[in-house]
């Protein structure tokens, strides 16, 4: 066989092109996949976010009916809460898939855990469940059941999330009610309490170290500059001072106060509460 260098170079170039073709194809596929992910991933995230924010027509009917009933009872309306709605929907889907209605399936987290995992912050949590042909019938059932009516008309709740799922020719409904609590930093908590104390004429000390330390443990404070009165309390509301503290301030024996906040003791992570200490001097 005769050897032709020109023919060998031609075959070599063809072989190189054939070897490069799959590599180039793989690179192109990877680039296309990357571009598609950049385009569609934010869209998918946005759609999931909108689905949580958007209220179902059936849920809107139940929300409107609840607020009408609360208005008739002289109560404030409930505000829609996307986190509660997300938790309600997960539970509602579970009920619709399994059939019977309940507040907790066999291997499902309890109400406080699943609402907390959905991002809700609260000091009180309640739930209504029902199965009926229409949203209007669901509301009627709740209003004619003592426990469900008490939940819906509870004056302490201020937020609600509702989910409705159609299955087996009927509607499954879940409403999660809560008293929403704002998550505040220690500094914000201390300033809120300070605003309640200042109108009494008591001056607020800048140093918070001793009050924070007393808030967090049972340490006794001794020394020449020890406070004349110490008080620790835990609450989900920062709209008023405890009566015992107000009575002490009213004696006129104190001129200044140190305020400290710390992490709540003895509460479940799913509940939001404020732990506060006030030292009067």
Q: For 109-127, how does the pLDDT look when each residue is reduced to its tens digit (9 = 90+)?
A: 788 888 888 878 888 899 9
Mean per-residue pLDDT, 68-87: 95
- Residue 224 — φ and ψ, nearest 5°? -65, -25
Return the pLDDT at 72: 97
The H-or-E segment that residue 105 falls in is none
- Residue 6 — φ and ψ, nearest 5°? -65, -40
Return the pLDDT at 9: 43
Mean per-residue pLDDT, 133-149: 96
Return the pLDDT at 217: 81
Q: How far apart are the first and last CA of the chain?
A: 111
In the predicted model, is pLDDT for residue 252 greater than 80?
A: yes
- The residue ranking higher by pLDDT, 268 or 255, is 255
pTM of the entire structure? 0.61
Cβ(228)–Cβ(281) under 8 Å?
yes
In the predicted model, is pLDDT for residue 163 greater than 50?
A: yes
Given the DSSP bridges, would you call strands 122-132 and 170-180 parallel, antiparallel or unpaired?
antiparallel
Return the pLDDT at 264: 66
Return the residue matching tokens 């958007």. 54
Q: What is the dihedral of CA 100, 101, 105, 111, to 10 degrees?
A: 180
Cβ(118)–Cβ(142) under 8 Å?
no
**What are the E-state strand segments in 33-169?**
79-80, 122-132, 159-167
Return the residue matching tokens 């989900």. 236
Q: Could you tell me which of 167, 87, 155 has the C-alpha nearest to residue 127?
A: 87
């Amino acid at each position: 066989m005769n050897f032709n260098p020109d023919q060998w170079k031609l075959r070599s170039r063809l072989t190189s092109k054939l070897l490069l073709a799959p590599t180039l194809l793989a690179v192109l596929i990877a680039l296309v996949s990357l571009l598609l992910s950049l385009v569609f991933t934010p869209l998918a995230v946005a759609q999931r976010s909108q689905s949580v924010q958007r209220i179902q027509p059936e849920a809107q009917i139940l929300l409107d009916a609840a607020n009408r009933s609360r208005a008739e009872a002289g109560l404030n309306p409930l505000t829609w809460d996307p986190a509660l709605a997300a938790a309600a929907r997960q539970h509602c889907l579970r009920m619709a898939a399994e059939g019977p209605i309940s507040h907790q399936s066999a291997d499902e987290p309890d109400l406080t855990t699943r609402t907390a995992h959905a991002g809700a912050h609260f000091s009180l949590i309640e739930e209504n469940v029902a199965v009926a042909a229409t949203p209007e019938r669901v509301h009627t059932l709740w209003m004619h059941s003592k426990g469900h009516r008490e939940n819906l008309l509870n004056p302490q709740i201020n937020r609600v999330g509702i989910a409705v799922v159609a299955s087996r020719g009927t509607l499954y409904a879940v409403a999660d009610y809560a008293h929403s609590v704002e998550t505040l930093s220690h500094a914000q908590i201390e300033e809120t309490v300070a605003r309640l104390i200042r109108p009494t004429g008591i001056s607020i000390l800048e140093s918070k170290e001793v009050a924070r330390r007393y808030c967090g443990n049972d340490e006794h404070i001794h020394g020449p500059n020890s406070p004349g009165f110490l008080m620790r309390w835990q609450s989900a509301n920062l709209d008023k001072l405890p009566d015992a503290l107000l009575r002490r301030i009213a004696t006129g024996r104190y001129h200044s106060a140190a305020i400290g906040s710390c992490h709540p003791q003895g509460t479940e992570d799913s509940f939001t509460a404020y732990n506060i200490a006030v030292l009067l001097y």
